């Protein structure tokens, strides 16, 4: 079984996870919080977040994060100093 088949979002309105500009910023924030609340209880949050970070820029709430939050995670990953080879 694929991790996607176990996501709690399958039981929700898919639009909840894609807050967009047709609504005002306060409504986007509320919708984002509601989607994140679902993700917090999801059994596959780690897999979902890892997939979304690896996938690159994608819209929507995945693994309890917004694309902006994932972009920051990717930047931190790129900026992280390489493991020292002398550590072995």
Of 27, 31, 1, whose CA–CA distance to 16 is shortest? Answer: 31
User: What separation in angstroms does the CA of 27 have from each of 8, 45, 51, 68?
Assistant: 22, 24, 27, 17
Per CB under 6 A, the list member of 31, 42, 53, 70 interacting with ligand SF4 is 42
CB of 80 to ligand SF4, least distance (A): 24
Member of 8, 28, 50, 73 binding ligand SF4 (CB under 6 A): 8
7 binds ligand SF4, rule: CB under 6 A = yes
53 near ligand SF4 (CB under 6 A): no
Provide the binding-site residues for ligand SF4, judged by CB under 6 A.
7-9, 17, 38-39, 42, 44-45, 48, 61-64
């Amino acid at each position: 079984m694929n991790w996607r088949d176990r996501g709690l979002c399958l039981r929700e309105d898919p639009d909840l996870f894609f807050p967009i500009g047709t609504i005002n910023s306060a409504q986007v924030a509320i919708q984002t919080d509601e989607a994140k609340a679902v993700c917090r209880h999801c059994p596959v949050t780690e897999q979902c977040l890892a997939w979304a970070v690896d996938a690159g820029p994608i819209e929507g709430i995945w693994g309890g994060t917004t694309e902006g939050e994932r972009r920051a995670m990717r930047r931190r990953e790129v900026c992280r100093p390489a493991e020292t080879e002398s550590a072995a």
